[in-house]
Amino acid sequence: MAVVRFPTGSSQPGPCGAGGLVQHFTTSVGPLPPTSPSESDIWYDNTQNIWYYYDGSDWLSFEKLTLNFTKDGNADGTFLRVGEVRSITTGYNILRNARLVYISAFAGSGQINKSVELQVNGATQYTFQLDSNLEYINDSVGLDLNQNDKLRLFVSSSGTPIKDLIVTTNICWRI
């Protein structure tokens, strides 16, 4: 494994939801993560071809994967769709351990404070409500997901339906 230490003259923002600024870091290359990392260290997994950043507890990929959920027309008491699939049982199967770091939502019209549930394997793990602009943004969700989890979004049936809802999430890989 090659290890190189880089002191930096200027701070760099951290990847994939990492807060704060990076003052210095160590870069490692190999098939396994370093055994005694420090926060902000970087590792390149040369078997999966993925760059990771150590956030102080987990290795998180620089790469973010965007997952979109939508519903044209009324979204009320229903699961959101993935792509153009018309089935209400659609969702995303998580390829490897991951962390959900970002959620944004926007609706064309409808009720403010409409609840949307993010479900993992059928259990609600995170709930949010649309604001007075029919929007929601959270860039520090921090929800850990495991390989083979199924991620789905459900819109509450309470109140007036919302229309033309799109929810965008970002995940990064986690080790």
- Reading the block at residue 22, the tokens are 């990076």
First and final CA of the chain: distance in angstroms?
Answer: 18
CATH 2.60.120 spans which residues of the chain?
64-174
Residue range 31-82, pLDDT digits in tens: 999 999 999 899 999 999 999 999 999 999 999 999 999 998 999 999 999 9
Stated pTM of the model: 0.84
User: For residues 76 and 84, is the Cβ–Cβ distance under 8 A?
Assistant: no
Does domain 64-174 correspond to CATH entry 2.40.50? no
Q: How far apart are CA 130 and CA 153, in angstroms?
A: 14
Q: What is the pLDDT along the chain (175 residues), one digit of tens a residue?
A: 454 444 444 444 455 555 555 556 688 899 999 999 999 899 999 999 999 999 999 999 999 999 999 998 999 999 999 987 777 678 999 999 999 999 999 999 988 888 999 999 999 999 999 999 999 999 999 999 999 999 999 999 988 889 999 999 999 999 9
